[in-house]
Structure 1
């Protein structure tokens, strides 16, 4: 996953696969909790899935301020590209 767009596509696939969401509901400005109805347990599952996809350890603390799909994309981008963070 190099670009933010690739991260978004991977994230969208994960949300569809893990939580059976319709792909058209998933946009960068979609709120995870309000729009997509992701709860805290779902968030842990998502973090675990992203960890397997990226090969990077993702701390739950890194996701405390995450609210939107775009926030997740940025957090994953920072983890996979620390030189640009």
Structure 2
């Protein structure tokens, strides 16, 4: 899976699950401050990303450092690389 595919699929999750406009989905966008997600939204986000990418996220400590869309893209990319 390429980095571009990860970006597209991640953005699709935000568009479909949270009805966020495509123009707002940039690597530097903060998911809390810019998109207004809260802790309950993050639970939904984790579930949606796990389903979309077929990975386990919930117990991964690295998830706590995620603040931006770019962080999510990199996190998913690393997970996919680790589970090849």
State the TM-score, normalized to the length of structure 1: 0.88
How many residues are matched? 82
- Could you tell me which residue of structure 1 aligns to residue 58 of structure 2? 59
2:9 aligns with: 10
**CA distance in 2 between partners of 1:14 and 1:54 (Å):** 11
Question: How far, CA to CA, are the matches of 1:17 and 1:69 in structure 2?
Answer: 15
Does residue 44 of structure 1 match 2:53? no
Name the counterpart of 1:75: 75
Structure 2: gaps spanning 5 or more residues = none
The two structures, once aligned, show a CA RMSD in angstroms of 1.3
What CA distance in whole angstroms lies between the structure 2 residues aligned with 1:52 and 1:66? 19
Q: Which runs of 5+ in 1 are unaligned?
A: none
Aligned to 2:32: 33
